[in-house]
A and B are shown apart, each in its own frame.
Chain A
Amino acid sequence: MTLLALSGIARPVHPTGIWGWITTIDHKRIGVLYGVTAFLMFITGGIEALIIRIQLGGPESNIVSPEVYNQLFTMHATTMIFLGVMPMSAAFFNYLIPLQIGARDVAFPRLNAFSYWTFLSGAIVLKLSWFLGGAPNAGWFGYAPLTGSAYNPGHGVDFWIIGLQILGVASLAAAFNFLTTIINMRAPGMSLMRMPLFTWMTFVTNFLLIFAFPVITVALIELFMDRYFAMNFFVTSAGASPVLWQHLFWIFGHPEVYILILPAMGIVSEILPTFSKKPLFGYPFIVLSGVVIGFMGWMVWSHHMFTVGLGPVANSVFALTTMLIAVPTGVKIFNWLGTMWGGTLEFKTPMLFAVGFVFLFIIGGLSGVMHAIPASDAQQQDTYFIVAHIHYVLFGGAIVAIFGGIYYWFPKVTGKFLDEKIGKLNFWLMFIGMNITFFPMHFLGMDGMPRRVYTYDADMGWNLWNGVSTAGSLLLAFSFLIFIHNVVRSLRKGEVAGNDPWDARTLEWSISSPPPEYNFKEIPHVTGIDQFWIDKKENGKVVSENSVEVDEHSIHLPQPSYWPFICSMGLLIAGYGAVYISSTVGIIVTAAGFMVTMFAVYAWSFEPVNDPENSY
């Protein structure tokens, strides 16, 4: 308590307005913060992509310089992966996991707030690079020694290193939190094999996170040491292995791919049964294939390195494991089809997105199997064929599923429907725009157009499909404007949704929309998969929650706190300073930032979860 008194900051009590958001530790509000921030970042990444497409729309155009172009494609990918898709998934984890497992919050609510603010800090550091001397320009996988100071003297790569480190802290803190929550906070009766599919995929994803992120952390530390302290980790003239970075990066990078896609698969596995009016077909198989993907995701990283020259044995082994990992993915797809088969299909907007996901992900999966063959990959490596593949799995896969998820859970979060007509328009524009943008890239790649070139000659034969692709990207951009319009419109005058607008199956639909701060008046008792469905159809409980008479004041929730926010702001300051660590000012700023963080850590650990008289 002395430390709190020392700091002169009293515990926030029922803060409102902006302070309410800054000090909040409510998983639902943090989920909304994650979602909104990630969407804004997604827009910036989209603008970067649009500039790229406009530059490539015709041959020999000069809209951006080659230097800026390199920064654009690096920032586009880094933004979409680390600031777009991952935090959008985190928004769903935050909002839904406690609701789906019947808990009142996550296991560590303040740590959860810390994760969000740290994510924001990392995003700010990364994006600051645009305004402070140029963004990183070595591609999202930042191959050393290209990122070494000899070839990349500017500060762009430094912002990239520090930004990713801070984002790593945020992701790790969140992952520890969600794993503990899922393991330890389930409602009575909710055994592992009764967990909703989205919870299951979150579980697997966060295991991947806690084991994959330390590897990239180490790679980035080593790169940092090389750049600032003239060390030799990636200096081949000192005898260093030229492929060390690639191995470290892809040992992280391939599990990362599943970190991006498994939550999307979880979302789709929730939407399909609801709109098919059938339980998920082959629940244990979908769960198990998710787990198998989680394990096998660690055995395939070298398929990103088939052309490096690791030798026929390594290439064969990784080709086999890569083809094998298509099996559990295929199992999932057949189970989704089985879920729809014979169901009473209702093509509401979320369902359209979910079916669109299955369709587009199959295309991306098929081209994926094509580059699992090393001989074939040698032709595709570093061409637009690869660009087409990753956009089919990450846009057609992750983003389409995430937007399906937004349409699906928006009524739960806000209490209002997103407009159905605009939603359908949104889906078709996105679906068609996405195919017009990315399908021609298969042809461009087959015609030998390399990725990451800022322009091309008029007689290469690439003009037509580049023009088509650019036109498609404008349509795609338009679909996001429609989405924003739909959100704004629905927040103002959307149709009011009840607790259970889709006649859905899992526990989050049993409580009011938006849910009360404490989520469940009474912790539910779980007797099977899809507990809410069982309650509705077998136990005849239409709405289990509102009828329960529980004194709301008897529910103790963890209280808001300033410390997670201050702790993260310390990291932001330290991160900013660390970019300039070779100067005295940089050292001072870094040290000051860490002191703020340390101080906040102490204040945090001495602050009880609840008010003092109610201490844990």
Chain B
Amino acid sequence: MDNTSVMENQAEDSHKTTTGLNSRKLLMWLFLGSDCMFFGSLIATYLVHQGKSLVGPYPVDVFDIPTTSVSTFVLLMSSMSMVLAYSALNRGNLKGFRIWIISTAIMGATFLAFQVFEFRTFVHHDHLTPQVNLFGTTFFTLTGIHGVHVTLGVIWLLSLFFHSFRGGVTPEKSLDVDLAALYWHFVDMVWIIIFTVVYLFGVFRGF
């Protein structure tokens, strides 16, 4: 990996700030810190109400761990292609950047397709709706809001992809991609927590 160009970019961007950190990047980190509290509150709500549903269906009745594992794997891989896209851009390889960024977006969209499929199965096949019990309420809200985050991320990635054809994405402006990448990795990480807490604990602890 050629890190020198990255370093130069950052030096270029940040020579005016007090800490030497780029202000946009700092803002992104602050936003992500804030978003931690956001998802933390949603997950806490889920946990508080875990096992409190008065009627079924319950997590053990609906979750299909193998299928969700596949979509989780796809989302995890999209983080890797995001890293590859950023690194390609920093090496000046615009073609590589386009390939990897569109792969990331496609994998994100695949994850969303899985989620739509899963939601439809739950509602139509398992009769788990957001209204039927507390599990449905907390599950659909938590995972649905995460899905909205992924959707916004996919739109952001696609915007970068198309913008690159108009010369808007260059190694000098790799920070634009870096910010999207930070967001994307964060959304992935939140999913890992949701997958563990909601899906795995839900099935293996038998709530």
The interface of chain A, by Cβ under 8 A from chain B, is: 2, 107-108, 172, 175-177, 179-180, 183-186, 190, 210-215, 217-219, 221-222, 225, 229-233, 238-241, 244, 248, 251, 602, 606
The answer to whether A238 touches B38 (Cβ under 8 A) is no
Chain B contacts of A238 at CB under 8 A?
53-54, 133-134, 137
A-B contact pairs, 18 of them (CB 8 A): A107-B27, A176-B27, A176-B31, A180-B27, A183-B19, A184-B21, A210-B33, A210-B34, A212-B37, A215-B37, A215-B38, A218-B42, A225-B141, A238-B133, A239-B54, A241-B49, A244-B45, A606-B168
Q: Does B1 contact A (CB under 8 A)?
A: no
Question: How many angstroms between the C-alpha atoms of A2 and B54 in the bound complex?
Answer: 56
Residue from the list B45, B159, B166 in contact with A233, Cβ < 8 A = B45
Chain B contacts of A232 at CB under 8 A?
131, 133-134, 136-137
Q: Does B26 contact A (CB under 8 A)?
A: yes
Known contacts A186-B18, A232-B134, A240-B52; is A177 also within 8 Å of B27 by CB?
yes
Question: How many angstroms between the C-alpha atoms of A439 and B37 in the bound complex?
Answer: 38
The answer to whether B34 touches A176 (Cβ under 8 A) is yes
The answer to whether A214 touches B34 (Cβ under 8 A) is yes
Chain B contacts of A602 at CB under 8 A?
159
The answer to whether A211 touches B37 (Cβ under 8 A) is yes
The answer to whether B19 touches A222 (Cβ under 8 A) is no
Which residues of chain B (1-57) have a CB below 8 Å from chain A? 17-19, 21, 23, 26-27, 30-31, 33-35, 37-38, 40-42, 45, 48-49, 52-54
Chain B contacts of A186 at CB under 8 A?
18
Chain A contacts of B38 at CB under 8 A?
214-215, 217-218
Chain A contacts of B141 at CB under 8 A?
221-222, 225, 231, 233
Q: Does B80 contact A (CB under 8 A)?
A: no
Residue from the list B19, B30, B48 in contact with A176, Cβ < 8 A = B30
Interface size on B, residues (CB 8 A): 35
The answer to whether A231 touches B137 (Cβ under 8 A) is yes
Chain B interface main SS type: helix
Question: How many angstroms between the C-alpha atoms of A248 and B23 in the bound complex?
Answer: 31
Residue from the list B17, B33, B34, B49 in contact with A240, Cβ < 8 A = B49
Residue from the list B19, B23, B48 in contact with A241, Cβ < 8 A = B48
The interface of chain B, by Cβ under 8 A from chain A, is: 17-19, 21, 23, 26-27, 30-31, 33-35, 37-38, 40-42, 45, 48-49, 52-54, 130-131, 133-134, 136-138, 141, 145, 159, 166, 168
The answer to whether B26 touches A183 (Cβ under 8 A) is yes
Measured CB to CB, the nearest residue on chain A to B43 is A218
Chain A contacts of B45 at CB under 8 A?
218, 222, 233, 244, 248
The answer to whether B134 touches A239 (Cβ under 8 A) is yes
Question: How many angstroms between the C-alpha atoms of A241 and B47 in the bound complex?
Answer: 11
Residue from the list B23, B40, B48, B159 in contact with A108, Cβ < 8 A = B23
Question: How many angstroms between the C-alpha atoms of A229 and B42 in the bound complex?
Answer: 17
How many whole Å from A454's CB to the nearest CB in chain B? Answer: 34
The answer to whether A213 touches B34 (Cβ under 8 A) is yes
The answer to whether B30 touches A180 (Cβ under 8 A) is yes
Give 17 new A-B contacts, CB below 8 A, not counting A183-B18, A225-B141: A108-B27, A176-B31, A183-B19, A184-B19, A210-B33, A210-B37, A211-B33, A211-B34, A214-B41, A221-B141, A222-B45, A229-B130, A231-B141, A232-B136, A232-B137, A238-B54, A241-B52
Measured CB to CB, the nearest residue on chain A to B51 is A239
Question: How many angstroms between the C-alpha atoms of A402 and B122 in the bound complex?
Answer: 54
Of the candidates B27, B130, B159, B166, the one having the most CB atoms from chain A within 10 angstroms of its own CB is B27
Chain A contacts of B134 at CB under 8 A?
232-233, 238-240
Question: How many angstroms between the C-alpha atoms of A186 and B19 in the bound complex?
Answer: 9
Known contacts A221-B145, A232-B133; is A214 also within 8 Å of B35 by CB?
yes
Chain B contacts of A241 at CB under 8 A?
48-49, 52
The answer to whether A248 touches B41 (Cβ under 8 A) is yes
Question: How many angstroms between the C-alpha atoms of A190 and B45 in the bound complex?
Answer: 43
How many whole Å from A99's CB to the nearest CB in chain B? Answer: 16
Question: How many angstroms between the C-alpha atoms of A210 and B23 in the bound complex?
Answer: 17
Question: How many angstroms between the C-alpha atoms of A184 and B23 in the bound complex?
Answer: 7
The answer to whether B54 touches A185 (Cβ under 8 A) is no
Chain B contacts of A179 at CB under 8 A?
26, 30
Question: How many angstroms between the C-alpha atoms of A240 and B38 in the bound complex?
Answer: 20
How many whole Å from A148's CB to the nearest CB in chain B? Answer: 13
Known contacts A176-B34, A184-B26, A244-B48; is A231 also within 8 Å of B130 by CB?
yes
The answer to whether A233 touches B137 (Cβ under 8 A) is yes
How many whole Å from A173's CB to the nearest CB in chain B? Answer: 9
Question: How many angstroms between the C-alpha atoms of A314 and B127 in the bound complex?
Answer: 39
Question: How many angstroms between the C-alpha atoms of A240 and B53 in the bound complex?
Answer: 8
The answer to whether A184 touches B34 (Cβ under 8 A) is no
Chain B contacts of A239 at CB under 8 A?
49, 52-54, 133-134
Known contacts A176-B31, A177-B27; is A184 also within 8 Å of B37 by CB?
no
Leading 10 A-B pairs by shortest Cβ distance: A214-B38, A218-B41, A214-B37, A184-B17, A231-B137, A210-B34, A239-B52, A232-B137, A186-B18, A107-B23
